[in-house]
Structure 1
């Protein structure tokens, strides 16, 4: 098969790679119909560190990508929920379904954690930016795409939309409250939609890029640049600040801004992958009695609530894919995404 293969920092190439095969009775094999690039894929692309994994170090070549939808080609003998020909979406985090974290619904913290296309072949799971993709524990981490959910929406459900919803729920947003979203990339924009779907009275969106602020404004947000956010939000909340803030960047500066914008006793949800050396202003957090939520979404746990919201039109998740490429042009897609041009939001690739 052909796939996007990581061969070192800024060296993801479209290349031949061994076809995946069923390795366990709980596996399915899918033909990939669409895949996309996540912001966290750029950390791999840059040769950064994600948790214990340092992508600047030499490692075996592996297929990248963890946002994937496809059609089932083969089904393991123990699989009960899928049939050949089914259209499926796949969670990026792979859980065994039996260990204590999985049984608590914390699939992202499985005792045998694996993430498609993130850790390399030494953990035995290649990614979905490829012609074909092996899905382990398929009854747990893959779901038939339901009626009323488009391919674009299903692809967003594999990570970006689920992460946004996870963060908004973690912020404990209540109907009638005021929310702030910092960082208006795909996750931040989807968080704006989720805030309104869950009853926010007002949502502020903050980003330095005017095009992204325009997209947030089209979703109903009051869009602000980082420099003007503090005085305007303080003035419009009578000096109190927002009830909750969702941070979708991961930089120390934006995390610090989140704590400054939230009211006393408010909640901050940090979704951005925290960069090396990012420090929390703990004395400030403590003195304001701020509740902090952060973590990694167990994607499959969001689907039961998100799918009805999509089917009912309360969340539309539209216009998130600014560019569409052939998988053969995946190297160019990564370079374009990495350049972060004003018109760049999210990349879809089709094998």
Structure 2
């Protein structure tokens, strides 16, 4: 027979709530029985009656929690559960009668105990069933709620772990992708201009040092200033290959330089612009890099080129983009490449839907990517 997942341990808050509810019931009972206009002695009598009548069910109620937990641990068919509760309610009523009878016998004698039992047996049995039912519903509902909360927390933790794993995989794919393309650039330089290739290798070593020093992964945040420096070193290597064909228009506002963003945010976008928008053109072109604080306090980025343009990839509901082949097509236009497709998915995961990545392009009209990131409280 299937069993329910266990309820997390730690019943302190539950017992505190039970004690508070019992105290409230005791106070209401005492206040209802007190006649304040007749003097303080009536208040003491009301307190005694409240303790006498509510003490036994309060004590017996502490046994209901483990009983309910045991029933929930192994679910049974409804008829069997009803029978179990009927027997438990009967036992609860009998135990209440036994406690009341024993206290009356000890304090007032056997005859008084017999008379009290005969007088109060019916209504006390009814109250016992009512109180037992209330306790079962209260404890049972609390245990179900705690179990549901634990299950939801487990699902959330599993989803968070899955998201972190996917983000790490995406980040891990961006690093080799960037390194592979940069090495290809250096290989071309060694054939055309060995001196430029040597300068490029020095710049490439600085890029590698930045990657290793920051230990960038899916959970890191870096400042825009660091990203801009990283992109400048990358563009310096590309400029060795493209020369005057590569023109860069920087429009970065100073107050945006301290904004935080995931590592390797700008570089893949700039790389797409250079490799697919500028490099295929004989006369080259211009890459525009803009950064400013958004109205909400986040970061607004814009990377654009005046290349051949492309057909905009359709956005999927989860933020992923279709991944057409990277590089120029037969018609001279290009697809978004690995970097853009990975970034679309990355921001959909990393910011929980709060980041916005928009593409504006058309054949012959260049390629523009706008990225709006929400504000960050600090490095993670």
How high is the TM-score relative to the length of structure 2? 0.24
Q: Whose helix fraction is larger, Structure 1's or Structure 2's?
A: 2
Bigger relative contact order (CA 8 A; separation at least 6):
1
Higher radius of gyration, 1 or 2:
2
